[in-house]
Structure 1
């Protein structure tokens, strides 16, 4: 009789334990995995200053862009601190999808038309993937070239390209950093001082000063430039001012041109000469 009681008690305890284990398993199955949110506001503007940031327009957004780079500040009153001559860029950027945008701009420099494609490959996630990765490609057409200067000029000679991989990380609420391997190609170039293909490594950062102000800095080092070339590594200091639907950027750069291929290849300022003040203004619709 005692044996029967022991067997019945054992079976009861085993059944109870099994039921509790099943409830625990069902509880685990019912628990949904926590979705990791994408990090936002790494950069407020589409550009750090000259260099692109990893920010893209949202789907359906249209950005109107107007940029100026005035003349050389170091010439003083001779050109009224650069105000006597300026390069202008006007263009638009449209968000086809949250991860994809296209852009078109026209530059007074070389009467250049620049098209751009920007696409997100990965997002920095809260407690997950550590960086945001964005691809950026430009395609330039120099319409200033004339057959009077180049009798054998062909359309392909007008073309130049860039390919950039933008890798950013929001380090804190105040600090964001970016690393950018860059490749540029020119179909027409000065064989003495330039390479058809140029490799660069770009660095950029944003430090938030207040809710609507941030200080930006970028520097691009040319990895295979010719030793006797007259050009400098691009460097730019900027200040972001956010005013509702506008992002206004004040810029000091050693490049007066604003199309990417020329910025990366042909920046002329060396610190004592060739400092160009200007601005980028974005209006979103």
Structure 2
């Protein structure tokens, strides 16, 4: 764990130094809280979605990577040998509506999503409210395992209400009530319908760096899996936001992250990773 944290510190410092020329043109400090500014700089708090949306006609490319369990030590090179990667794109149809498509190596899952603003925080309303809907397709399962498999069995769904408030130039918080439905599930370890409640936040520690955290409680009492807990650092650069993180859920997909967290923070079973967004 100590070595992994040392790696994170060295990597972050090197990245910040390398981007110094680009960062000279960025100034994110304001002298007062402006409610018209987004509560979050990145589209994700850590792995869970934030209330920020892509602007109209903006394209984002996503690269999300989670290494293996760092507690395995040098045997698996602190998780570097067992990684999961997600690639995706996001397009802003309007300033209040975006769509996305992604594919993750873990369970070979495709996800299509729509994200849309319902209410914006301003002087008359205290919070941003954004809706988020996902449909996932698990292409890993096959008829050798499930002889009567139908295409609909591969599908799962997520509905979320993202409710955030920008309290100051430094602090933003978000509540995320969530509902997951799986057409194919194992009843001995999870429920077909799962309800979750999440809380997350961002605290800005410099012009270009913030620390982030999020935690989801899964009210599925039969679940074999853990509640996902993630900590991260956002680094703003000239063309993208780079997120470094530690989490107990190796899966990058929205549905998998929420319902299939397997790591235990108390035992050091956590995963190091990063998210990279490039806007065009």
* TM-score bracket, shorter-length normalisation: 0.7 to 0.9
Equivalent in the alignment of 1:67 = 64
How big is the shift at 1:247? Answer: 0.5
Query: Counterpart of 2:163?
Result: 167
TM-score (norm 1): 0.85
Select the structure of larger CA radius of gyration. 1
1:109 & 1:215 partners in 2: Cα distance? 27
CA shift for structure 1 position 38: 5.2
Cα deviation digits, residues 47-102 of structure 1 (max 9, x gap): 00111000001100000000100000011011100000100000000000000000
Residue 93 (structure 1) aligned with residue 93 (structure 2): no
1:201 aligns with 2:204: no
Runs of 4+ aligned structure 1 residues displaced above 4 Å come to none
| 1:105 matched residue in structure 2 | 102
Q: 1:157 aligns with which of 153, 159, 162?
A: 153
**Is the 8 Å Cα contact of residues 48 and 205 (structure 1) preserved in structure 2?**
yes
Task: Note the alpha carbon deviations across 1:163-216, whole angstroms, 9 max, x for none.
Answer: 000000001110000001000011111110100000000000000011100000
CA RMSD of aligned residues (A): 1.0
Aligned counterpart, 2:74? 77
SS at 1:104 equivalent: strand
Return the offset for 1:149: 1.3
Q: C-alpha distance in 2, partners of 1:225/1:54?
A: 28
Distance in 2, matches of 1:179 and 1:273, equals 27
Residue 132 of structure 2 contacts residue 160 of structure 2 at CA under 8 Å; is this kept in 1? yes
The Cα shift of 1:274 comes to: 2.4
Equivalent pair of 1:115/1:139 in contact (CA under 8 Å): yes
Which residue in 1 is equivalent to 2:219? 223
Residue 212 of structure 1 corresponds to which residue in structure 2?
A: 208
The residue number in structure 1 matching 2:38 is 41
Number of the residue aligned with 1:9: none
**Does residue 275 in structure 1 map to residue 267 in structure 2?**
no
How many residue pairs match? The answer is 246
Question: Matches of 1:222 and 1:83 in 2, distance apart?
Answer: 29
Q: After TM superposition, list the pairs within 5 Å mapping 1:236-251 onto structure 2.
A: 236-251=230-245
Q: Which runs of 5+ in 2 are unaligned?
A: 1-33
Alpha-carbon distance in structure 2 between the residues aligned to 1:213 and 1:273: 26
